[in-house]
Amino acid sequence: MPPRRSRGFKQVVVEVTEACNHACLHCYNYWRPNRVSPIVSGPVHPGSPCRKPLSREEIVRLVRRIRRHEPIDSVGISGGEPLLRPDLAGIITDLTLEGLGVVTITNGSLLTESRLQHVPEGSYFEVTLFSTNRECHNFLAGRDCFDVVVANLDRLPRHKCHFVLAIVLTRLNVCDVMQTIELGIALGTRAVMLNRVNLGRQALAIAHDLVPSPAELREALQQADRAAEKYGVGVAVSVPVPPCVVDPRDYPHLHFGWCPRGSDDAYYTIGCTGLLRPCNHSSLILGDLRKRSFTSIVKSAKARAFWAPVPQQCATCTHPLKDSCAGGCRAAAVECYGDVNKIDPFVAFSLAASHREASPLPLWRSRNGQTVGHGMQGNTALATTALPNREQAGLP
């Protein structure tokens, strides 16, 4: 399936560091095994140990160069944890002054008063909150950080900054989706991103315990669909949900995304040393932006070979969304199986999950008494129809 190009690319992701202060259970950053400390200067990915991370000035120059040939109007700043860069506020300011929409993707633990004082007013952040259950969030994040993240989200409006709530959906937090969205609304979220876990090579060993079954996924999506209808909040399911696992058409109030496969909607990712990859999930190096143009790299045979294959087992699919799905996430297939012709590993693990044994991972209870991560029954509909306020969310 060739990429669908017509208007040009409108967005890129820039990873400003590979360092991170969290240790998320599902983390798919391919350099993670080589990370030795949460510092800005290193290490960088294998294969280029002598390359220096892009400076603030180089980042702006690269983006300007791309915009000479592509209609880029938005940039996602990512990592690692981008707030570990001391000059991040300057990078956000520079890109904003270029007339770009800038969103910083962060775990939220470093959105402190001192950092926010230097960020331009109106800045946007995409902040991960796994659950309203403190223990569940901390376990998935690999750090004791829930209270800090919630407090930091609460201070964003005071600095005239905005955030989008990001929930990574795993087997462990499927029961808490409604409540987590409600907490986000009470804190002032502009929208919600509900993304099912996307597997990488490091998480593959515990995929059995992370990937929700179709029934669990349906329950979580039903909660999100009710929240979207009830509160009028936009909820995007950006990581592809293959219809052979759950049919997206059953959730009319959710916005489902698909792998852009090199089309105009692709979010090619610039690593912190200037190497371009198909997306932030992929470790495949397509080319060096310090030496070649963005357009020449994305039009290369190497890029086309990555995006083109459709798994053989999808050939007989008759679902109306089969062309949009095309086997799910290409990057996950390559990262986990080393084969772009394989179907997204999420499919096999989710379909097999209905028959698995009990998980060895910890269990938690959500506020309504359901067991997090294990065969939900019933629903979590609210007793009232009012928009959740701070008191309802347990905030002062």
| 242 pLDDT more than 60 | yes
Q: What is the pLDDT of residues 377-394, one digit of tens each?
A: 222 222 223 445 545 545
Nearest Cα to Cα of residue 161 among 227, 224, 93: 93
Which whole number is the average pLDDT over 285-307?
Answer: 96
Q: What is the pLDDT of residues 130-186, one digit of tens each?
A: 999 999 999 999 999 999 999 999 999 999 999 999 999 999 999 999 999 999 999
More confident residue, 385 or 230: 230
> How far is the C-alpha of 373 from the C-alpha of 173, rounded, in Å?
6
Q: Please, which pLDDT band fits residue 52 given cuts at 50, 70 and 90? A: confident
Q: Please, which pLDDT band fits residue 356 given cuts at 50, 70 and 90? A: low
Start-to-end CA span in the chain (Å): 53
Q: What pLDDT, on a 0 to 100 scale, did the predictor assign at position 354?
A: 77
> How far is the C-alpha of 231 from the C-alpha of 57, rounded, in Å?
42
> How far is the C-alpha of 271 from the C-alpha of 280, rounded, in Å?
8
Q: What pLDDT, on a 0 to 100 scale, did the predictor assign at position 363?
A: 53
Segment (H or E) for 309: none
> How far is the C-alpha of 79 from the C-alpha of 60, rounded, in Å?
17
Q: Please, which pLDDT band fits residue 231 given cuts at 50, 70 and 90? A: very high
Tokens 């952040």 belong to residue: 125
Q: Which two tokens stand for residue 30?
A: 């391919």
Q: Which two tokens stand for residue 285?
A: 């190096």
Residue 11's SS3 state is strand
Contact by Cβ (8 Å): 46, 303: no
Contact by Cβ (8 Å): 388, 186: yes
For residue 26, the number of C-alpha atoms closer than 13 Å in the C-beta half-sphere is 26
Residue 337's SS3 state is helix
More confident residue, 111 or 381: 111
> How far is the C-alpha of 94 from the C-alpha of 49, rounded, in Å?
28
Q: What angle do the packed helices 177-187 and 214-231 form, to 10 degrees?
A: 30
Q: What is the largest CA-CA distance in the chain?
A: 59
φ and ψ at 254, to 5 degrees? -105, 150
More confident residue, 49 or 339: 339
> How far is the C-alpha of 90 from the C-alpha of 55, rounded, in Å?
11
CB pairs under 8 A, 24+ apart, for 311-318?
Answer: 311/341, 311/342, 311/343, 312/341, 313/343, 314/343, 317/244
Q: Which two tokens stand for residue 33?
A: 């095994």
| 369 pLDDT more than 50 | no
Does residue 258 come out as left (phi exceeding 0), alpha (psi in the -120 to 50 range) or beta? beta
Q: Which two tokens stand for residue 283?
A: 């470790």
